[in-house]
Structure 1
């Protein structure tokens, strides 16, 4: 458990459920993770809401994720992975299940590539969705002009995947901060353990998070990244990650907004559940 209780309506904006049937083209094989286990984790940490992001090992077969979200529509939302030419009927089905965005994952694959960025954004615009991106940070400076022109909100996963050792002055970190100050960018305060150079409790992430807060605190959301797949180090404890957020964002009002208000706005909680 975290040292301080989470505020009412708190949201974990990044987690995965994993079934037994995985894509043959997957880049790794994680253990199964059920929605029941995920909800138990949320309950243990007094987190009211969650966002299930389609994991790469299931490719564009979103059924494990959408079954979980639709069964708990009062509490969960989903981010799907589809090809840019997916039929309208498929997107309508995803929307009816509680999906509110599409993911493009270039780090682990399992779906479309950056060649489809604008086409995916156009599909999102049709449905009033947003686009979520897990990128190689080295691509971010060159990609930034394309992202700035997107007609929909877009979210950079895991602190932009920028290694803390690169420093805030690194072109990728500066590109992320510049995008966040623009019209449509959001950033997930998730995956600190993926970008940290020091190990738990990952306090070396504090400077970049505070820079993000200074840039646009109203466009940040927090995620646990449960069940912490494809990570070679010690399994993170969600309570410790929430304690880290308290150090990263010491202002209680800003922290509560990140956990509650920002997430409710981005993931449309209160609309149909």
Structure 2
């Protein structure tokens, strides 16, 4: 296994969640309530990032626990506004004023969790995507399998900036030419799409280091280049199919992207530019 890069290397984690049920109660109708071991408070997040030399993080509003309630995420950003940016969860009819209010509090985009809520939930989001484009906010899209095929026209025509979660969540057994992953590779040519190298435990059919996803990481590296790829841990690893630890994930990135300059771009230069980390 390739060694983890030295902790003096600048790093940004582009997908973490925060949960603080003692201060922000979970929604009564939450799709999933995190177990105690899956809870990650702002203080705990800070300790993890510090331990691994991670200077900044992109907080993603989880459908689990909080649903449409962004208070915990916004509170965490307010604690350290130069360290964090956020991806909020909003209604499909969220107004321009609502989006601007979130933007003023450090939110840089909105989550489209197609993998959880289904394609039909997002078919009529053209007006929301238009507002995101006008405000220069990201549409963070999590799809799996071939779901992207049904939404690619809507997303492409929107003109919005697109941030794809977890490598597009392909099906490893179907190869890099499968329709959904091919569609994801096609978005690279738009010049307004980026992809997170993350969540491989959700995708792989093999134990760590997930050798079956290596072709997908390499295909993304070739199509998007390090200038449109970012790295993420997905901490605190909700509903993980097997044990996940932060350090091995950094080692996995070093294995997938052995070139030091390319890895630095993915870990620092690209996310710093895309998400306006000072």
Task: Give the 3-state SS of the residue equivalent to 1:101 in structure 2.
Answer: strand
1:23 to 19, 27, 48: 27
1:47 to 54, 57, 68: 54
CA distance in 2, matches of 1:6, 1:175: 36
Matching residue of 2:230: 221
How many Å apart are 1:189 and its aligned residue?
0.4
Provide structure 1 residue ranges, at least 5 long, that are not aligned to the other structure: none
TM (norm. structure 1) is: 0.91
Structure 1 residues 6 and 146, CA gap change in structure 2 (3 angstroms): farther
How many Å apart are 1:50 and its aligned residue?
0.3
CA contact (8 A) 1:160 1:176 kept: yes
Matching residue of 2:195: 187
Provide structure 2 residue ranges, at least 5 long, that are not aligned to the other structure: none
CA contact (8 A) 1:105 1:113 kept: no
CA distance in 2, matches of 1:10, 1:239: 13
1:256 to 246, 250, 264: 264
How many Å apart are 1:6 and its aligned residue?
4.5
Could you list the runs of 4 or more consecutive aligned residues of structure 1 that deviate by over 3 angstroms after TM superposition?
6-9
CA distance in 1, matches of 2:8, 2:171: 30
CA contact (8 A) 1:102 1:120 kept: no
CA contact (8 A) 1:203 1:244 kept: no
Equivalenced residues, count: 267
- Write the mapping of 1:85-234 to structure 2, written as runs, cut at 5 A: 85-109=93-117, 113-217=121-225, 218-234=227-243
CA contact (8 A) 1:165 1:196 kept: no
Compute the RMSD of aligned alpha carbons: 1.9
How many Å apart are 1:191 and its aligned residue?
0.1
1:36 to 40, 43, 46: 43
Task: Give the 3-state SS of the residue equivalent to 1:36 in structure 2.
Answer: helix
Q: Structure 1, residues 240-261: CA drift from partner, whole Å, max 9, x if none?
A: 0110001111111111101111
Task: Give the 3-state SS of the residue equivalent to 1:155 in structure 2.
Answer: strand
